[in-house]
Amino acid sequence: MAVLVYIEHEGGVVKKSSLEAVSYGKKLAESLKTDVKAVGLGSISMEEWNRVAQAGAADALHVVDERLDVGIIQAHASAVGQAFESCGAKILVLAKSSLGDAVAARLSVRLKAGMVTNVISLPSVENGFSVKRSIYTGKAFAVSEISTENKILAIRKSTVEPMMEDRQIQVEVFSAVLEDSLFQVKITGTDKAAGQISLPEADIVVSGGRGLKGPENWGIIEDLAGVLGAATGCSKPVSDMDWRPHHEHVGQTGVKVSPSLYIAVGISGAIQHLAGVNSSKNILVINKDPEAPFFKAADYGIVGDAFEVLPKLTEAIKAIK
C-alpha cells in the first residue's frame, strides 16, 4: 500500500502545505510499514527537492515539462495519475487547495479511488480504513471509511508540522505522456499582490476590521505583520468599502485560512468571518469591546484600543527579535 504525495509549487518554490502533506505521508507510510514517494511537476530545483527530502520523502518522481509550471488541472491530473499507476501506489496524499481539490476529484474517477478531503489525522487501519475529517467549516468532525483499493487523502493545512530532518532524496525523471489536448486551456496571466505573503499559505495572519476606522490607519496592521513575517487580511465590510483589496477578504465568502496564529484586530466576529478562520491553531482577538462575539472563539484576547495596543505589541516583538 505504497503512498504517493503530490507536490504543488509556486514559481518553483514548493508550498508549505505540500511539505506538510509529505510529512503526513511519511507518518502514514511508517504506520503501514510501506514506502512514501513524492511526485512534482514542472520546474523544481534540486534545492527545493532537498526541502521535500527534509519533510520526509527519500524518493521522488519529477515530470520535467515547463507546461506544468502553471496549474492546468487536466494536465496535472493526467501526470499524477500516470505516476500513481507507474509506481504501484495505493494511496495518494495531497494538500487541500483549489488546485489540489480539482486534481483529486479527477483522479478519484480515473483511479476508481475513494476520496476524503479536509483530513486532520492519520487513518485508523485496525478495522478497515477510516479517517477523521473536519466538516461544517471546522465546527464538527466526521469519520469516513474508504473501502476502495485506491485511496485519496486531501490534508487540511496545518494538520501536521513539516519535518526538518537531514536526509537525501533520489529524484527520478518520469516521462508522462501528455497530449496537446490537455493544454487547450491556457492560463494567460495571474494577478498577485507583489511582495506579499499568500494568505492561504501564511503561518501567521494579521487581519483588520472596521475598528481601524479607515484605510489610512492600516499602517499599524502592516507594521505588526511585517515584524511577524505575516500575511495581512481583512473582514468583508472592509473589502466592500474598498479600504483593502478583495483578495485580502477572509471569511466564508472570501479566503479561508488555517494559520498557526490568526490575529483579529477590530473585528467583531460575525459568523461569516469565523467560518473562514476557525481552522486556525490559535486565535488572538484585539478589540476594545469586551462583549465582541469574537472573544468567545478566541484562544487569547486583549481588551483595548487597537491604536494603543498594536504599536506597543509591534515594538515589543521588535525588542524580542
Query: What pLDDT is attached to residue 113?
Result: 97
In this structure, is residue 230 part of a structural domain? yes
Predicted local confidence at residue 241, as pLDDT: 95
Does a structural domain hold residue 262? yes
What letters, b where the CB count within 10 A reaches 16 and e where it falls short, cover 274-301?
bbbbbbbeebbbbbeeeebbbbebbeeb
Over residues 272-311, the pLDDT tens digits come to: 999 999 889 899 999 999 999 999 999 999 999 999 999 9
Q: Was 273 annotated as part of a binding site?
A: yes
Convert the pLDDT of each residue in 86-139 to its tens digit: 999 999 999 999 899 999 999 999 999 999 999 999 999 988 999 999 888 777
Is it the case that residue 186 has pLDDT exceeding 80? Answer: no
Domain that holds residue 257: 204-320
- The answer to whether 74 is a known ligand-binding residue is no
My answer on whether 252 and 162 are in the same domain is: no
Rounded-to-integer distance, Cα 44 and Cα 63, Å: 9
3-state secondary structure of 236: helix
Size (the chain), residues: 321
* Residue 271 within any structural domain of the chain: yes
Are 165 and 65 within one domain? yes
Residue 12 labelled as part of a binding site = no
pLDDT higher than 80, residue 187:
no
pLDDT of residue 192: 58
Tell me whether residue 282 is annotated as binding: no
- Asked, for residue 19, whether it belongs to a domain, the answer is yes
Q: How many domains does the chain have?
A: 2
pLDDT by residue (tens digit) across 228-238? 999 999 999 99
Q: Give the whole-angstrom CA distance, residue 22 versus residue 160.
A: 10
Residue 267 pLDDT more than 50? yes
pLDDT band of 191, cuts 50, 70, 90: low
- Residue with the larger pLDDT of the pair 208 and 197: 208
Asked if pLDDT for residue 193 goes beyond 70, the answer is: no
Same domain for 210 and 148, yes or no, is no
CATH for 123: 3.40.50.620
**Domain match, 60 and 164 both:** yes
Supply the CATH number for residue 224's domain.
3.40.50.1220
Same domain (yes/no): 166, 303: no
Query: Is the model more confident about 135 or about 197?
Result: 135
The verdict on 172 and 210 lying in the same domain is no
Q: Tens digit of pLDDT for each residue in 163-172?
A: 888 889 999 9
pLDDT band at 217 (very low <50, low <70, confident <90, very high): very high
Q: Is position 209 within any domain?
A: yes
| Mean confidence (pLDDT) of the chain | 93
110 is in an annotated binding site: no
**What pLDDT is attached to residue 159?**
86
What does the pLDDT average to over 233-254?
93
Whether residues 278 and 215 share a domain: the answer is yes
Same domain, 251 and 300: yes
Give the C-alpha separation, 233 to 201, whole Å.
13
Instruction: Tell whether 270 is in a known binding site.
Output: yes
- State the DSSP code for 119: E
Q: Are 244 and 277 in a shared domain?
A: yes
Residue where one domain finishes, among candidates 183, 215, 246:
183
- DSSP-derived 3-state class of residue 175: coil
Last residue of a domain, one of 183, 216, 238: 183
**pLDDT of res. 194:** 47
Could you tell me if residue 139 is inside a domain? yes
Measure the CA–CA gap between 80 and 83, rounded to whole angstroms. Answer: 5
Condensed to tens digits (0 to 9), the pLDDT of residues 294-304 reads 999 999 999 99
* 225 marked among binding-site residues: no
The answer on 144 and 36 residing in a single domain is yes
Sheet containing 300-303: order of strands: 231-234, 204-208, 261-265, 282-287, 300-303
Closest CA to 278 of 253, 299, 303: 299
114 in a known ligand binding site: no
Note whether 142 and 212 are same-domain residues. no
Query: What number is the average pLDDT over the span 268-273?
Result: 93
* 188 found inside a domain: no
Residue 152 annotated as lining a ligand binding site: no
pLDDT for res 196: 67
**Claim to verify: residue 18 and residue 145 sit in the same structural domain:** yes
Q: Is 251 annotated as a binding residue?
A: no
